Chains A and B, each alone.
Chain A
């Protein structure tokens, strides 16, 4: 029997130390589709600010490349430690790191140096992993822990910088800080409430909770948390544009009704075609939101929006991050909550949009979708499939 495909949701969030202009932690996540492999690195640079940011970024980048290229681990880790610049104040080159390297068949290894130990959660409980320690002759004060285990659907790996576990340290209320133990309990409570909590929501909650421990809710150190969640994929279809031939309208409608997952309809003509073919009502709000046409409501759709202007905004928001309260932001929320994004793109061009007096934003739909797909695959590690018709 074939098992259902697994999706690896990877999310992370950082908060920089209060009164710093840059976060000294770095997280890098890469997906190697051909090998069905995900690599996530969280590195915490010595100190804070620019110096820490450079150290952690260098470390995370090197770690990701070395791990991906399958160079022997001790050799790769030795090169990394030799390569880091030495801190003039402390005379050490230092950036701690945690590396998760996992394949879709479950083979997973975690390499750790100096960060709080990762948490492996299965069925809502923390599970101990087989871990061995690696020592280096040249680096007596360092040891590296390597854990190997096999993941299965529903498992989560949580890693963080010490800014999280030490949140509140020295304060009246929490003299010892939140500690790793407190974080484990918090994660377990969150998952007991909602066993299918997404990685995205979990990282947000962990950071929020850590901030609650800090006096004045201000981070006294850089804080980062990354969550890797192995789960059955959540699918979202974004249907946009009328089919090139009108004779394919009914096929479009059957795709809409037959899709097993969430659905977004993006475009006036597209929604009209579906409404006509499936005898559905569309109700549209009159008020625009944040400079984009209003959303509509149609049975079976999680969101109905205008087409090209909204997609153009989606593209730019995905690129630069942030949200603006527009229907594009709403669409991005849906996208982020799903793992597989299926674009169904009708290729008929609305000639009215090609009028040279209209803004250049009215680009050809295919170009925008192509760009969005690239961003979703490379920056958000989504699996994207596109069907043109």
Chain B
């Protein structure tokens, strides 16, 4: 049983928006019903990752504080699936 939710932060900053963060708008609704209790999706005004330029490119999503570059809903789903398979993996994306 997972005792802590996986935190998904979607960047709504300028660069991420221009490069496709809009595809995450209905991400929360598209999660499988059985995941919903274990995942929390929030938007961030800006994660500030594009400025650092070392995480492969916008749009960015952060999963439990770990940045994912060139993020797509599919890519983020895969990471969540892997984490949910690992009972202890919730804090180590």
Contacts and interface: CB of A to CB of B under 8 A. Distances in A.
Interface of A: 267-269, 271-272, 282, 284-288, 292-294, 296, 304, 306-309, 350-353, 358-359, 362
8 contacts: A268-B11, A268-B12, A272-B46, A284-B43, A293-B17, A294-B43, A353-B14, A359-B18
Given A269-B46, A358-B18, A293 B13 contact: yes
Nearest to B13: A268
Interface in B1-34: 10-15, 17-19, 21-22, 24-25, 27-28
A18 to B, nearest CB: 41
A284 B44 contact: yes
A127 to B, nearest CB: 50
Contact of A309 (B14, B50, B53): B14
Contact of A269 (B21, B22, B51): B51
B22 to A, nearest CB: 6
Given A286-B10, A286-B24, A309-B17, A352 B43 contact: no
A351 B53 contact: yes
A177 B53 CA distance: 68
A265 to B, nearest CB: 9
Nearest to A296: B45
Given A269-B46, A286-B28, A286-B43, A306 B12 contact: yes
Nearest to A348: B51
Given A284-B42, A284-B43, A306-B13, A350 B22 contact: no
Given A286-B24, A288-B12, A350-B50, 16 more contacts: A267-B46, A268-B12, A268-B14, A269-B48, A269-B51, A271-B45, A272-B45, A286-B12, A286-B41, A293-B13, A293-B21, A304-B45, A308-B14, A350-B15, A351-B51, A362-B18
Nearest to A358: B18
Interface in B55-79: 58
Given A268-B14, A306-B13, A351-B53, A288 B46 contact: no
A306 B14 contact: yes
A306 B47 CA distance: 12
A352 B42 contact: no
B14 A350 contact: yes
A288 B14 contact: no
Nearest to A306: B14
